[in-house]
Amino acid sequence: MSNSEICKTCRGPKAKYNCGICSECSCKKCTHFVEDAFTYQLNVPAELSHSQYCHACFQEHVERPLQEYQQVAEEAREVVVFLKNQSKVTRLMDRKSAPLVVKDCDDEEDALLKMSFQAVKMGHNALIDVEFKNKKVINGSHKKIIVDSTAIPTTIDKSRSYYD
Ligand SMILES: [Zn+2]
Ligand SMILES: [Zn+2]
């Protein structure tokens, strides 16, 4: 058996998975598979953009950022959203932050989650003046809609009801 098929973590055989960071081999049991992580994060560092890691590299480089990401992503789902045409409701809210801009999102929900993620990272809990712009993209015979969006991140008192 070639040495390259020995798992660097448990020294077991059939280590067919190469770590994205150190390139060494791991068996299935010792490999950390990371799918669709950091989707909403801007500027994902190279070491976090792989889909599999050996145990040591995962612990050293990935585990903590992944936990932080998941925490922010969870809070992003709780962000309160007001559209531009709801300015009656939002007129007294703080508009000091620069507008967020996202481009070429899959749909409106994707755009909202990306902006919400940024808002949470800035310490905010709401998006106001949200606007969407749908763009038709033609790729050969394939047509699809992609979405650009802007919003102002702000902080609101979530215990209040803004719709009354
Ligand atoms: Zn192993
Ligand atoms: Zn590794």
- The predicted structure's pLDDT at residue 110: 94
In a shared domain, residues 112 and 132: yes
Residue located via tokens 């990371």? 34
CA of 3 to the centre of ligand 1 (A): 13
The answer to whether residue 3 scores a pLDDT higher than 80 is no
CA of 101 to the centre of ligand 1 (A): 44
pLDDT tens readout for residues 84-96: 999 999 999 999 9
In a shared domain, residues 71 and 84: no
- The predicted structure's pLDDT at residue 118: 97
The answer to whether residue 134 sits within a structural domain is yes
* Count of other CB atoms within 10 angstroms of residue 130: 22
In a shared domain, residues 115 and 54: no
Instruction: Name the residue range of residue 105's domain.
Output: 80-154
Contact (Cβ atoms closer than 8 angstroms) between residue 25 and residue 56: no
Distance CA 9, CA 24 (A): 10
- The predicted structure's pLDDT at residue 139: 83
The answer to whether residue 162 scores a pLDDT higher than 90 is no
The CATH number for 119's domain is 3.30.110
CA of 37 to the centre of ligand 2 (A): 18
Ligand closest to Cα of 31 equals 1
The answer to whether residue 145 scores a pLDDT higher than 70 is yes
- The predicted structure's pLDDT at residue 63: 97
- The predicted structure's pLDDT at residue 163: 60
In a shared domain, residues 85 and 39: no
Domains: count for the chain = 2
CA of 9 to the centre of ligand 1 (A): 5
pLDDT tens readout for residues 92-133: 999 999 999 999 999 999 999 999 999 999 999 999 999 999
CA of 38 to the centre of ligand 1 (A): 26
CA of 60 to the centre of ligand 1 (A): 17
- The predicted structure's pLDDT at residue 102: 96
CA of 100 to the centre of ligand 2 (A): 36
pLDDT tens readout for residues 38-88: 989 888 999 999 999 999 999 999 999 999 999 999 999 999 999 999 999
Q: E strands, 30-108, where?
A: 32-33, 52-53, 80-83, 100-105
Ligand closest to Cα of 54 equals 2
Q: Using CA atoms in the order 164, 132, 153, 128, what is the torsion angle rounded to 10 degrees?
A: -20
- The predicted structure's pLDDT at residue 43: 87
